[in-house]
Structure 1
Amino acid sequence: MVKPYDKQFKLAAVQYYSEHKNLGLKGCAKNLGVSYQTLSRWKKELRESRVIHPRGSGNYSSDLAKENARLKCQLRNTEEVLDVLKKAINILGN
């Protein structure tokens, strides 16, 4: 599951890296509790556009998009449960 990080945390993480380059990107990422790829992406976004775009499960363009994502997740979970029940019926039926 993706952890949502706010814009302020992302900016602070990139700032931390710029102040502790001796640790390297991997060392800074480990100290901050994020993956190397995540910190690298934030650094690249900030360098290219001077803006870090918010991402994560809590960032939707509208309430409709949020509800749509919730319903898709619910449908996926329901389908998984149904598959498990079908397998159980086949096993118990034999």
Structure 2
Amino acid sequence: MTKKIRTYSAAFKAEAVKKIADNNGNVSATAKQLGIAMQTLSNWQNKANEGKLIGTKQYDPELMAIIEENKRLKHDLKVAQEERDILKKATAYFANEER
């Protein structure tokens, strides 16, 4: 038995988060009204509060650009460290071989 993963549009997520305020901040009641899991709605609300949910007034595209750049830089650093480690091992191997 496989579970079907439901995907929601950014507009739906933004409206769902706005609807929480209409229900006096009650995430559980809002989730029941919309027919989605409470944890899912809570995650969306947390993202909105952090400025990461598209379509909400808190959304900050500059923040998202910085986050994406940070991810890319971390990946580049990891690759560079792996390359450095390989070169260290190769240097040590060839230094021992010359003796």
For normalisation by structure 2, the TM-score amounts to 0.47
Larger relative contact order (Cα-Cα within 8 Å, sequence gap ≥ 6):
1
Larger radius of gyration: 2
